[in-house]
Amino acid sequence: MTQVLQLNHVSRDFNKGRTHAVRDVSLTVRKGEILGLVGVNGAGKTTIVKMCSTLLMPTSGDIKINGIDAVRSPEKARGDIGLVIGGDRGFYPRATVLANMRFFADLAGVPYRHRNEQISQLLKAVSLEAKGNSHVNELSRGQKQRLHIARALLGNPSLLLLDEPTIGLDPDVALQMRDLIRIMSSKGVGILLTSHSMVEVEELANKVAVLDSGVIRVQGELNDIYRYAHISRTSTFSFTPSGLFRPETVAEWFAGKGQVIYRAVGSTWFFTVLWNLSSLPFDHLITTAFQSNGLTAPVDIYTRKVTLEDAFLSISQKGVYEDA
C-alpha cells in the first residue's frame, strides 16, 4: 500500500533544547490504514500530530505526506491533510456553522459548484444538519467536536490526523464517529488516531504505537503489542484486607508470575494480575494462594483474554522497557 505519512527519526525539543518532547520517532501510515497512537498525558501524542499537520516543525528528522517533504514544503503538504485537534478554537465563534464550513471549504480547495453539496453531506454525517444556521458559540462541546471532524473531511484529504476525535461526545455519537472513521479508512484515507480510549483504538486501529516520554516503545499489530508486554491472560478479583494481609502482601504472592496492579475503593481493594505464564488454571492459582494463607478465596475471580489496556498497563511498568 502507498504510504501517505512517513516520519523518519523525528525529534522535537522545547525550552532551548532542555525539554525533549519527542525523541527519534519513526512511523508510517499507509493508504486505508489506521494507526493508533497511545500514551499517557504528556507522552508526546499531540506534539506528533501537530508536526504531522505542519503546525509545528520538528527539531530534526523528516516528515513526508504522500511523498511531499512537509518540513521543506509545508503549504504543499497541507492540501492532503485533514486535522482534528478539537476544543473551542479553530472556528469563528460568532459566525454560523454554514459560514464557517464555506470558509474552510474554500481554504481546502473544494470547487464552488460542489461546495454546498459536500458541506451538506458532511454535516449530515456528523448529525449537525439541523445546526447550519446556528452560531458556533451556541454549540455544545460535543457538537463543536463533531464540527471539527466535518471540517477535517472537507476537500477529501488522503490523510486524517485525529487527536482525541470522540472526546466529549455522548456514547451514541462516539459510536457514530467510529463508524465514520471506518468508512473513511475503507475509502483509502490513511488515519493517525490518538485516543485515551483503549477500547476505541483496539476497535479501529490496524496498527498501534505505544508512546512513552516522547519515545515509541513498540509498534505493530495488536498481537505484536501483546507479545511485547509478555501477558498471556488477565485475572481480576477484589479483597478487603485486614491484619497482616495488606494489599502489598497479596501482590507478593504472585511475584514472578505476573504484574499485579491494585487500587482501593473504600475499604475494598481491586486487583488485576497480568500473567506472564503460559496457559494455566489461573483462577485456581489465586484460590490456592488465598487458602494457603488461611483466607477465603475471593468469589469474584475472573480470567479473560488480554486487551490493549492490559498491555499498555504492563508496558507502563518500567521493567518492560529494559529490552526496548
**Which of the four pLDDT bands, split at 50, 70 and 90, describes residue 151?**
very high
Whole-number Cα distances in Å, 138 to 67, 92, 123, 124, 147: 40, 12, 16, 18, 12
Domains of the chain with CATH codes:
3-227 (3.40.50.300), 232-305 (3.30.70.980)
How many residues does this entry show for the chain? 324
- For residue 310, how many other CB atoms are within 10 A of its CB? 23
Phi, psi of 218 (to 5 degrees): -160, 150
Please tell me the distance from the alpha carbon of residue 183 to that of residue 189, in angstroms, as a whole number. Answer: 9
More confident residue, 242 or 259: 259
- Of 40-44, 234-238, 261-265, give the lowest mean pLDDT range: 40-44
Q: Name the nearest CA neighbour of 56 among 44, 67, 66.
A: 44
What is the per-residue pLDDT across 121-132, written as a single tens digit (0 to 9) for each?
A: 999 988 899 999
Q: Is the pLDDT of residue 319 over 60?
A: no
Whole-number Cα distances in Å, 319 to 24, 175, 230, 303: 21, 36, 11, 24
Percentage of residues in the chain having pLDDT higher than 70: 96
- Whether the pTM exceeds 0.85: the reply is yes
Q: Is the pLDDT of residue 62 over 80?
A: yes
Mention every residue, 6+ apart, whose C-beta is less than 8 A from residue 250. 239, 241, 260, 262, 269, 271, 289
Residue found under cell 478554537: 89
Average pLDDT over residues 195-217: 94
Please tell me the distance from the alpha carbon of residue 226 to that of residue 233, in angstroms, as a whole number. Answer: 10
Residue found under cell 526496548: 324
**pLDDT for 162:** 95
Average pLDDT over residues 20-37: 96
Q: Is the pLDDT of residue 49 over 90?
A: yes
Partners of 219 in the β-ladder: 209
Q: Is 234 helix (H, G, I), strand (E, B) or coil?
A: strand
- Of 11-25, 197-211, 212-226, 267-281, give the lowest mean pLDDT range: 267-281
Q: Is the pLDDT of residue 86 over 60?
A: yes
pLDDT, averaged across the chain: 91
**pLDDT for 228:** 93
Average pLDDT over residues 207-211: 96
CB 136 within 8 A of CB 97: yes
Provide the sign of the torsion angle of the four alpha carbons 48, 223, 168, 98, taken in this order.
Answer: positive
Please tell me the distance from the alpha carbon of residue 171 to that of residue 163, in angstroms, as a whole number. Answer: 18
**Which of the four pLDDT bands, split at 50, 70 and 90, describes residue 70?**
very high
What is the per-residue pLDDT across 266-293, written as a single tens digit (0 to 9) for each?
A: 889 999 999 988 777 999 999 999 999 9
Q: What is the DSSP letter of 321?
A: G
Whole-number Cα distances in Å, 26 to 20, 50, 161, 266: 16, 15, 16, 44
**pLDDT for 1:** 59
- For residue 63, how many other CB atoms are within 10 A of its CB? 24
